[in-house]
Amino acid sequence: MLEFVDITIEKPFQDRDGIPFFTFGLQKAFEYKPLDFSYLSSEAVSTFTANKLNSLGDIVETIDLSTSLIVGNGVSHTCTGLVDYASDLDSGIYYFLVNDRYQSDSFCVADELTEGVLNQDPIAISGLAFYNTDYTISWREKAGAPYICFGSQLAENSYPLPFRYKATDAVSTFKLIEINTYGVIINETSLSTSLITSDGAYHTCTGLVEFSTAYIETGLYYFEVNGQYESELFQMMELENVGGIGFDIIGDTLIVY
């Protein structure tokens, strides 16, 4: 919940002495709806603005918002955050100002946020973990996640890793997406959808059928199905001298003895 102060009697948090840089501790907000808030005020709501700040904390744009987003009952001003703006805000740092008197803490509008859905269980059943990006984000993208390659599985570059996850739709696209160690996409390869079976309840890949595409380079990858289901990262390796006794990694090559 977003905090407010009455600037006629006290300073907003970001202007107080001794605090860190004004972006310290920012909440993130969707571009299409406000963060929720409630504070004491006996006034009717006459103005509601979002003030955009530059990197120095100076106002660069003031956007008038509908006062209907706030309910004033003679005791408090309340915004549930459940009603969308008339127009989306651009990404950036903002604060709200109501009646030119009640000012919120600064917050960050981020257009890459994914809105969660209540009562949605994880979809992965077995094998390589998958996420439904319509309502969740992958583990590597969560705040505080360690190095991007941490705990990634190894895969041989001829066969897909097996997986099974909940999904009721048919498989229309299957992509192998390569990223660098900064998480930036550097290549996409379309794979045969026949590698996945769909029975109306699950998407299943046994990992027993070879990729039908050309030679796949070693690197860091994830799968994407139907532009919606995204796997965890895995490192593609090339197998040599397969014997089944042990293995070693030399450069980007997995040597099996």
Q: What tens digit of pLDDT does each residue of 207-247 get?
A: 999 998 767 889 999 999 999 999 999 999 886 655 555 55
Residue of higher predicted confidence among 121 and 171: 171
* Whole-number pLDDT of residue 249: 59
> What integer pLDDT is reported at residue 102 of this predicted model?
96
Share of residues in the chain with pLDDT > 90 (%): 58
Position 183 scores a pLDDT of: 84
pLDDT of residue 52: 96
Extract the tokens encoding 79.
């915004």
pLDDT band at 98; cut points 50, 70, 90: very high
Domains observed in the chain: 4-109 (2.60.40), 124-256 (2.60.40)
Half-sphere exposure of 69 (CA within 13 A, CB side): 24
Task: Please choose, from the candidates 13, 69, 80, 70, the residue with its C-alpha nearest in 3D space to the C-alpha of residue 41.
Answer: 70
Q: How far apart are CA 204 and CA 195, in angstroms?
A: 8
pTM for the full predicted model? 0.56
Question: Which uninterrupted H or E stretch holds 13?
Answer: none
Exposure string (b/e) for 159-192, b if CB count within 10 Å is 16 or more? bbbebbbbbeeebeebbbbbbeeeeeeeeeeebe
The whole-number pLDDT of residue 116 equals 60
User: Are 13 and 19 within 8 A, CB to CB?
Assistant: yes
| The pLDDT value given to residue 109 | 92
Which tens digits make up the pLDDT trace of 128-140? 999 888 877 776 6
Average of pLDDT values for 41-70? Answer: 94
Closest CA relative to residue 223, chosen from 181, 182, 183, 174: 174
What does the chain come to in residues?
A: 257
Closest CA to 213 of 230, 228, 226, 195: 195
Q: What is the pLDDT of residue 146?
A: 62
Q: Could you tell me the pLDDT band of residue 1, with boundaries at 50, 70 and 90? A: confident
pLDDT for residue 113 is more than 80:
no
The dihedrals phi and psi of 193, each to the nearest 5 degrees, come to -70, -15
Give SS3 for 91.
Answer: coil
Q: Can you give the pLDDT at residue 16? A: 73
Residue 11: exposure state from Cβ atoms within 10 A (0-12, 13-18, ≥19) = exposed
Tokens 């706030």 found at: 70
Q: How far apart (Å, rounded) are the C-alpha atoms in residues 3 and 27?
A: 10
Token digits of residue 168: 């009721």
The pLDDT assigned to 38 comes to 94
pLDDT of residue 152: 83
Of 42, 44, 22, 46, the closest CA to residue 95 belongs to: 22
Residue of 176, 175, 180 whose CA lies nearest to 149: 180
pLDDT of residue 256: 53
Mean pLDDT for all residues in the chain = 86
Residues 128, 231 contacting (CB under 8 angstroms)? yes
pLDDT digits (tens, 9 = 90+) for 140-157: 676 655 677 777 889 988
The pLDDT-based confidence of 119 (bands split at 50, 70, 90) is low
